[in-house]
Amino acid sequence: MTLPSFITLLRPDPGETTAVGTLGPPGTSSEVAATLLAHRLATPGDAAAPVHLFDTYEEAGAALHARRVTHVVVANAYKAVHHFYMDAALDLSDVFVMDTPLYGIAVRCDAGPVPVSPTIASHPSPVPIIDQLLPRRHTSYKVIHSDSTSAAARAAVEGTADLALTTVPAAQAHGLKFISRTRPIRMVWSVFTRQRRPGRGGRAA
């Protein structure tokens, strides 16, 4: 994993960070990014703020509006990230680059032979790397969209998909084994907070 490069747009006030929200469940790349941010924002000598995981980025955003978290981390590859940028009640406070945990195509450890044309559970954003990773013996496949990499791993465990495009942490958490090589995805992450500055077309929080 590369060392992240942060571009800080709004420096949080000391002691302001009470919780960081992002996409769950445990094992997502978003959780890794949010945990890194929580440690970065911690006051020296103090414990990092807790990371709260939500079923969707939108639920994390709702928690931010409701003041149940102070920061939300969203992957810029997320197809609906523009809703966060356009929200007049939110500020973009940080942007950073971080490699995701290793991605690969995994199967349940006790699964039988994988079909030649398998179904593959995946979050929509990393779907393009399936063609890079899927072993050549599989001549075609069908993608089943999942809400996160962890949800994709769970789909393989539950049998709703033959395979999962998922991360190493999620595969380990769900007892999957990889049938492909693995690779990271270099990704931009955006950090949103409630707006504190008036005069941008919205109210200050």
Identify residue 103 by its one-letter amino acid code.
Y
**Other CB atoms within 10 Å distance of the CB of residue 163:** 30
Contact criterion met (CB below 8 Å) for 24 and 148: yes
Q: What is the pLDDT of residue 28?
A: 87
How confident is the model over 132-175, as pLDDT tens digits?
999 999 989 999 999 899 999 999 999 999 999 999 999 999 99
Contact criterion met (CB below 8 Å) for 38 and 49: yes
The 8-class DSSP code of residue 136 comes to T
Q: What is the pLDDT of residue 14?
A: 45
| 129 Cβ contact list (under 8 Å, min separation 6) | 103, 165, 183, 185
Identify residue 64 by its one-letter amino acid code.
L
pLDDT averaged per 10 residues in sequence order, the chain, 205 residues? 56 66 91 92 88 96 96 94 97 92 96 95 94 94 94 96 96 96 94 75 43
Q: What is the pLDDT of residue 6?
A: 59
Q: What is the pLDDT of residue 199?
A: 47
Q: Which two tokens stand for residue 72?
A: 């939300």
pTM: 0.79
Residue 36 three-state SS: helix
Q: What is the pLDDT of residue 201?
A: 46
